[in-house]
Every structure is written in C-alpha cells, then in structure tokens.
C-alpha cells in the first residue's frame, strides 16, 4: 500500500517544522516590535519631559527678569515698550515666550523636530499664533478648538486632563492617537510654567507648555522591521524545512529498509536482515528486528521439522501397526479355521501372537512417553538403585528376544558398583529401549554388553553391541524423534523411531547426558550419565517389576 505524500513522515516533519519556524519567527518579531515600541515611547516621554521643563524654565526666567526690570526702575528707566509688554500677565507671558524663541533662533539651537505650544491658565493658545505646519499642527488645533466640552473625544480628554494636572503644578505626558505598534501616534508632555510671587512668597503658574514631535519615527522603523521579518521568515522556514527533510531522511530511510524487510518476511523468506548503521533507537530497532527475524526463522524451521516428523510418525506408526496386526489377524484366522492341529503348532502360534502383541504395547507405550515429554510431564521418582540387579531383571524380561535373535546379553556391572539416583521404571525403560535397538543391528552370535564406570559424582553407563555400528552421517541425528538410520522400514530393523528419543528425554529429566559413538573392533556404543546416590544413603533393593510397565 502506497502512503499519500501528505501522510509521509518526511513531508509531515518538514511541514510541521515550517509551521513552527513561521510561528516562532512571527512571535519573535512581534515581541521585538512591541518591546522596541514600548521603550521608544518611554524614551520619547523622558525626552519630551526634559524639553518641556527646559522650555518652561527659560520662559519663567525671562518673565521674572522683565518683571524685575520694571519693578527696580519704577518705571523711570524702563522703556515705554517694555512697560507696555509687561503691563498685563498675558502680555508679559507672550513677550517672554517671544524673547525665548528669538534667543533660540539667534543661537541656532532652535528645535525643528518638536512643536511647542504655550497656553494661558485659561486654556488660550498664546504661541504659536497660527497653526499651518503638518499633521501635528492639525491634530493640536483640532484638540484645542474644543467647542463641545460635554462630548470630548478620547484624545481631547487625555490632553485636557494633562493640562489640568499641569495647572496644578504637576507635569504629565500622554499619547495622541491609537497606541499600537503600527499606528501613527504622537506622544506629548505638558509642563507648568511657574514664577515666584514675592507678595505671598509662593509660586504662581502663569501658563503651560505642551511639547510634541511633528512626526513619530516608530511607524517607519516598525515598517522596516516588519518588511525584514516578512522577507526573513519564509527564508528561515525554507531552510528549516530543508534541514527537517534532511534529518527526516535519517529516520525514513531505516524505516523504509525495515518495511522492505518486513515485506520479504511476509512473502515467506525468513532470511531477510536489515543493515542499519548508527546508534540510537533506530539502530536498536534494526538489531531487534534482525533478532526477531532469526528467531522467527528458527521457529518456522522447527514447525517445518515438526511437520516432517508428524508425517514420518504417521508413516512409521502405520507401518509398525500394520505388520503385527496382520500377523495377529492371520494367525487368528488360522486358529479359527483349524489349520494348525498339533500342540506344537498352537504353541508356536501363541508365541508369535504374544510377541506381536508385546510389540504393539511397546509402540503404544513409546507414544505415551513421548506425549509426556511434549507436555513436560515426566516427573521421575528418584531413589537409590543397584544397577547390576536392574540390568539382570531387564535381561530376564528380554530373554526371549535375545534368544530369538541369537544374541548373548552380558552384564558387566559389578554388584559393588555404587547405587544411582533414578526412577526405577524410567531406568528400566532406558535399558529396554537400548537393548531392543541393539538387537535390531546385532547379527546372530553377537553380544550386547551393559557396563558402568564412575566419573566424579556421576555414573557413566554404556550399552555396546557387536554389530556394524552406526553410519557416521547418522550419528548426530539418531536421537531425533522418528529418525531411523535404516530407511528401508523393514520389520527386521524397523521400529517407531522413538526409542532413542525417549532415552534422551528420560536421561535429561534425571540431569544426565546421552551420546553415541562407534567402538573400533566392536559396534555401536550408546552411553549416558546418571547421578550417584549420596554416600550416607543406603542402597535400595530393586523390586521385581517388569520393564514394560507404563511410565
């Protein structure tokens, strides 16, 4: 199934990175503009306050100087023009403002960037007399021409409150217009103009000065910053997206390899492996995937082997059941038909029927034991056993089989050999299975010898025959279930293929090991180990139980 591009990890990571970059750059730019605007306004207010205080102080000094000249000369030495100029507070105020402006003009320090408005305590504009310059003048003129005091605008109210505060002796600032980072707002500051009243020994407010810039540089600066941000943000977003796609490739490429390997495994090829170099979670995932593929291959191979074993079991069981059943059925029909009349014939027929019946019982018992092995239900009842006595009992039970094959059983275990810790019925089954296996491959006149030796705290028990030995290629596999070194499946060398597997399972639950080898000059030798009984335990006599009892 092909994944749409918008669901691809690479594109999703790139798009999300672009969005995050755009949002981050936008928020950063907005924050920077707000901070710049805020501190610029603070700086403007401080500057306007200083300018207003300086201008108010200059007017106050000139005003008091003119008034002092008139008072000191008593009207004698003062010119008529000066007397006329200071005859009233309003004319004295206007004259002082004019003189301050003339001095600033002569000294070439006239401030051309700010507008200075002088008001009387009654709110009448004294200077400048006409407003003709720019939007700042128009704004101030509209604010000063207040005809309807009952319905003031927000800016008019702000200016009025500042003027009222200044007339009370407190300078105050504010802003005309909307106060946003991109709007054309103008800051202002209102400062009272105070002179000394010698009669009352207090300060008298003769007017106020309003200072405001002709234009505010913030909007142009903000526009420049905004344009820079608009240009830089897409570039940054594209760079971030390119880097995100590059790094996303380091994630998607290993994932693509894992997906391809998964598809190969899904098709039935369990040899797929992923080669992802590099540390981190993806490398760990790749190694885990490879381990999973290896384990899955092992499990599938095991299931296939189990299936092969199942087929072999069906074929082997069918063959092994058919032969004795056919023999029993044929002999039974012969008995019914009365073909055999003599006592010797009946006796021979009975022996054959018993032999084939025992053969069927052994087969059923083998299947029962293997079922227990598969279910993990083999639980040995451990006790001390004398090996020599147990081997004698086994040979006694199998005496008929040894006679029929004309093979001599040899018990080479000394009666003084230490006892072993084992389950009696299970150990009897081991000896019986190994002897039956040896009888199939030992020619007439041969021997089957059971011997034992001590190795540390274990007993090493061996069953050796004088046959042709086990083919070298079959040695590693003879303990596999349903495996037979002889593929002819003749009744002479047949069997279910479970005997040695049962031996291995029983030895394993006793804590021992089993192996097979060929003895030069002899035949096959199958050995296994069992734990010896502790020294303080007394040996237990072996009871006369048949080796064919169910485990």
Residue 344 located in a structural domain: no
Q: What is the pLDDT of residues 312-339, one digit of tens each?
A: 777 777 777 777 788 788 877 777 776 6
pLDDT value of position 491: 42
pLDDT value of position 191: 93
pLDDT above 90: percentage of residues in the chain: 21
Residue 407 located in a structural domain: yes
State how beta strands 524-531 and 458-465 pair.
Answer: antiparallel
- The residue that leads in pLDDT, 242 or 457, is 457
pLDDT value of position 363: 78
Residue 91 located in a structural domain: yes
* Lowest mean pLDDT, pick from 141-145, 183-187, 245-249, 459-463: 141-145
pLDDT value of position 402: 92
pLDDT value of position 544: 40
How many whole angstroms from its chain centre is CA 364? Answer: 53
Banded pLDDT at 549 (limits 50, 70, 90)? very low
Question: Are 45 and 189 in contact, with CB atoms under 8 Å apart?
Answer: yes
Banded pLDDT at 53 (limits 50, 70, 90)? very high
pLDDT value of position 39: 82
Domain count, the chain: 2
End of a domain among 167, 199, 218?
A: 218
| Mean pLDDT (whole number) for 230-247 | 78
Nearest to 482 by CA among 307, 321, 306, 312: 312
End of a domain among 187, 218, 249?
A: 218
Residue 422 located in a structural domain: yes
pLDDT value of position 464: 94
Question: Are 158 and 174 in contact, with CB atoms under 8 Å apart?
Answer: yes
> How far is the C-alpha of 324 from the C-alpha of 333, rounded, in Å?
14
End of a domain among 154, 183, 218?
A: 218
Residue 321 located in a structural domain: no
Residue 44 located in a structural domain: yes
Q: What is the pLDDT of residues 36-45, one digit of tens each?
A: 777 877 888 8
pLDDT value of position 494: 47
pTM, whole model, 2 decimals?
A: 0.46
Residue 477 located in a structural domain: yes
**For residue 487, is pLDDT > 60?**
no
pLDDT above 70: percentage of residues in the chain: 78
Largest Cα separation within the chain, whole Å, is 187
**For residue 394, is pLDDT > 80?**
yes
Non-local CB neighbours of 537 within 8 Å, separated by 6+ positions: 384, 419
Q: What is the pLDDT of residues 437-456, one digit of tens each?
A: 899 889 999 999 999 999 98
Full domain range(s) for residue 507? 380-531
Would you give the DSSP letter of residue 532? B
**For residue 476, is pLDDT > 50?**
yes
Please count the CA atoms within 13 angstroms of the CA of 91 that sit on its side-chain side.
9
Domain with residue 397: its CATH number is 3.30.565.10
Residue 36 located in a structural domain: yes
Nearest to 422 by CA among 460, 452, 384, 394: 384
pLDDT value of position 239: 82
Question: Are 387 and 459 in contact, with CB atoms under 8 Å apart?
Answer: yes
């Amino acid at each position: 199934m092909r994944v749409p591009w918008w669901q691809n990890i690479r594109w999703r990571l790139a798009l999300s990175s672009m969005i995050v970059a755009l949002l981050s750059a936008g928020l950063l730019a907005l924050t920077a503009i707000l901070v710049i605007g805020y501190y610029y306004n603070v700086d403007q207010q401080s500057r306007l306050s200083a300018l207003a205080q300086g201008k108010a102080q200059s007017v106050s000094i000139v005003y008091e100087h003119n008034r002092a000249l008139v008072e000191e000369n008593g009207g004698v030495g003062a010119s008529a023009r000066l007397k006329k100029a200071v005859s009233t507070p309003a004319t004295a105020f206007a004259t002082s403002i004019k003189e301050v402006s003339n001095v600033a003009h002569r000294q070439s320090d006239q401030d051309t960037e700010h507008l200075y408005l002088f008001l009387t305590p009654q709110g009448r504009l004294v200077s400048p007399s006409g407003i003709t310059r720019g939007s700042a003048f128009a704004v101030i003129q509209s604010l000063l021409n207040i005809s309807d005091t009952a319905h003031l605008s927000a800016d008019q109210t702000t200016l009025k409150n500042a003027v009222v505060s200044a007339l009370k002796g407190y300078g105050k600032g504010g802003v005309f217009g909307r106060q946003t980072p991109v709007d054309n707002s103008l800051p202002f500051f209102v400062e009272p103009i105070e002179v000394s009243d010698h009669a009352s020994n207090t300060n008298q407010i003769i007017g106020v000065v309003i200072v405001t810039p002709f234009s505010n540089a913030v909007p142009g600066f903000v526009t420049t910053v905004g344009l820079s941000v608009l240009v830089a943000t897409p570039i940054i977003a594209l760079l971030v997206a390119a880097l995100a796609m590059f790094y996303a490739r380091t994630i998607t490429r290993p994932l693509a390899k894992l997906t391809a390997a998964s598809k190969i495994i899904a098709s039935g090829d369990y040899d797929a492996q992923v080669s992802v170099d590099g540390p981190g979670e993806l490398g760990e995932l790749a190694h885990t995937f490879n381990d999973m593929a290896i384990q899955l291959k092992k499990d599938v191979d095991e299931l296939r082997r189990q299936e092969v074993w199942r087929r072999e079991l069906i074929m082997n069981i069918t063959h092994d059941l058919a032969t004795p059943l056919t023999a029993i059925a044929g002999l039974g029909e012969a008995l019914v038909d009365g073909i055999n009349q003599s006592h010797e014939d009946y006796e021979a027929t009975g022996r054959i029927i018993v032999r084939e019946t025992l053969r069927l019982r052994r087969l059923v018992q083998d299947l029962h034991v293997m079922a227990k092995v598969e279910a993990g239900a083999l639980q040995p009842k451990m006790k001390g056993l004398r090996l020599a006595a147990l081997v004698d009992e086994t040979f006694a039970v199998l005496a008929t089989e040894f006679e029929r094959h004309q093979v001599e059983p040899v018990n080479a275990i000394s009666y003084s050999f230490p006892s072993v810790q084992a389950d009696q019925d299970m150990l009897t089954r081991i000896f019986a299975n190994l002897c039956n296996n040896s009888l199939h491959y030992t020619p007439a006149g041969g021997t089957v010898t059971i011997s034992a030796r001590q190795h540390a705290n274990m007993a090493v028990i061996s069953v050796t025959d004088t046959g042709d030995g086990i083919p070298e290629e079959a040695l590693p596999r003879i303990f596999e279930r349903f495996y037979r070194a002889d593929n002819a499946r003749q009744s002479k060398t047949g069997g279910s293929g479970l005997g040695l597997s049962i031996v291995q399972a029983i030895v394993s639950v006793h804590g021992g090991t089993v192996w097979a080898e060929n003895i030069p000059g002899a035949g096959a030798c199958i050995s296994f180990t069992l734990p010896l009984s502790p020294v303080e335990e007394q040996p237990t006599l072996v009871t006369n139980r048949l080796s064919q009892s169910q485990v």
